[in-house]
Structure 1
Amino acid sequence: MTTKLSYEGDDIFPERQSRDDMKASNATCLIWGADLTSTNRRRQVRHELREHAIAAFAATRAHATLRHLIVAYRCALHLRDRVQITAYSESRRIHADLELKRARDIDVIMIDVTGLVDNHLAEQRFNELAVRRAGVAGYAAISWNDIRHQSIQVASAQDIV
């Protein structure tokens, strides 16, 4: 099986999303970008993250071979801790919904990429995950710091412990 990345949602990885082939059909790993930096209010940023999670869930319909859904988001620095709680609950909800809909396991991982400056390393981490089977972590909410020196799969597995 060929592994493909598909970048959709907000333009938080601009040099990757500018290429036409980055919205691949039948991707094994869908990376949904969510730019939450336009608001500084807790309630509003949590609501926007939920809306992005719903949109990412809807986008999975176009990818029959999907094994991993990543919602990568950026937010104001002072809201990061609050948003991570919402990210964790949304990843759990979307994971359960995908299992019910698809009758198979699809990992759902929310990643706070606030402060990310190395898009090349981020793409490397996404590609590492795309070749792995789903089901090790199921769902997780991690940050860029968690995956800077280890794979997304390892960081996600540590998140459930």
Structure 2
Amino acid sequence: MSSDILVRGDHLPALTELTVDQAEATAAPRALVWGIDLGECATRTAVKRHLRQAFADVSGIARADDRLVHLFIPYTHRGAMPPGSCLPNAARLAMKLHVALERELGRDVDVVAIDITGCENGELLRERIGAAVSAPVAQRSDLALSWPELTAQSIRSIAMQHHL
């Protein structure tokens, strides 16, 4: 399962479970997990700027590797911002990246931003991401999720609800 996943970006403790058994550098991963630490961002403007740059970095990688069909962008603000305050920006960026990749590359790519602030269960996060990567593709999507949403149900379940 995790051999299809490549973990990059900022080191986040919640991603340790994924990092341990990620794909070898020479493998052909289907998914990229790009961690973002927003804990040092003191203002909403700084958060927006940092998220925008991280999504641009992910975009460059996705454009360069056509094997990637799942992009997961977990981030934490470590309590520096009110709960859920980063979700609207993350949702907008996920949608823009999803649409841009579809338009420019002629292929669909899942783009899922996840606010993992407060996540103390890296195993559950690994399971949720792994299940999304290994599940049959019903419809590619863009999502921005909070950690409480992800503890309650799978990424695929949430995606299907958003498309109804």
Shorter-chain TM-score: which interval?
Answer: 0.7 to 0.9
Structure 2 length as normaliser, TM-score? 0.85
Partner Cα separation in structure 1 for residue 156 and residue 145 of structure 2:
11
Partner of 2:88: 85
Conservation of the 8 A alpha-carbon contact between 1:125 and 1:151: yes
DSSP-derived class of the 1:122 partner: helix
Name the CA shift for 1:81/1:147 in 2 (closer, same or farther; >3 Å): closer
1:8 lines up with 2:11 in the alignment: no
Partner of 2:70: 68
Conservation of the 8 A alpha-carbon contact between 1:67 and 1:107: yes
Partner Cα separation in structure 2 for residue 24 and residue 142 of structure 1:
31
Structure 1 length as normaliser, TM-score? 0.86
Per the TM alignment, residue 81 of structure 1 is displaced from its structure 2 partner at its CA by 2.9
Partner of 2:160: 157
Aligned-residue identity in percent: 24
Amino acid corresponding to residue 93 of structure 1 in structure 2: K
DSSP-derived class of the 1:81 partner: coil
Amino acid corresponding to residue 92 of structure 1 in structure 2: M
Aligned pairs, number: 160
Per the TM alignment, residue 55 of structure 1 is displaced from its structure 2 partner at its CA by 0.6
DSSP-derived class of the 2:51 partner: helix
DSSP-derived class of the 2:94 partner: helix
Partner of 2:49: 47
Structure 2 unpaired stretches of 5+ = none
Structure 1 unpaired stretches of 5+ = none
Amino acid corresponding to residue 53 of structure 2 in structure 1: E
Output one character per residue of 1:36-62: Cα deviation in whole Å (capped at 9) or x when no partner. 011221110111011111111112245
More moved, 17-26 vs 80-89: 17-26
Conservation of the 8 A alpha-carbon contact between 1:107 and 1:134: no
